[in-house]
Amino acid sequence: MSGAAAECSRAGCRDTAVWAIRWRNPRIHAADRRKTWVACGEHVVYLREFLSARDFPVEVQALVGEAS
Ligand SMILES: [Zn+2]
């Protein structure tokens, strides 16, 4: 892929994502499934809290250069 920066997953935000939020909904996802949202520095906390408020397992990792 030719270097297109990922955009924040927050609705309406077009900022470049610098965090990857890996999460799972235990009710619908198998134990080894992970969904990934990406977030800018401003919205990483919002998105993580949104998920953890629903008791979803959440991990936040720095998003480094390459898209995955
Ligand atoms: Zn954002």
| pLDDT, tens digit (0-9, with 9 covering 90-100), for 8-65 | 999 999 999 999 999 999 999 999 999 999 999 999 999 999 999 999 999 999 997 6
pLDDT at 5: 79
Q: Give me ligand 1 centre to Cα 15, in Å.
A: 5
Q: Give me ligand 1 centre to Cα 18, in Å.
A: 9
pLDDT at 2: 45
Q: Give me ligand 1 centre to Cα 26, in Å.
A: 25
Q: Give me ligand 1 centre to Cα 5, in Å.
A: 13
Q: Please, how many CA atoms are within 13 Å of residue 40, restricted to the half-sphere of its CB?
A: 12
pLDDT at 66: 56
Burial 36-64 (b: 16+ CB within 10 A, else e): ebbbbeebbeebbebbeeeebebebeebe
Q: Give me ligand 1 centre to Cα 56, in Å.
A: 20
pLDDT at 65: 64
**Domain assignment of residue 36, given as a range:** 1-68
Domain count, the chain: 1
pLDDT at 1: 44
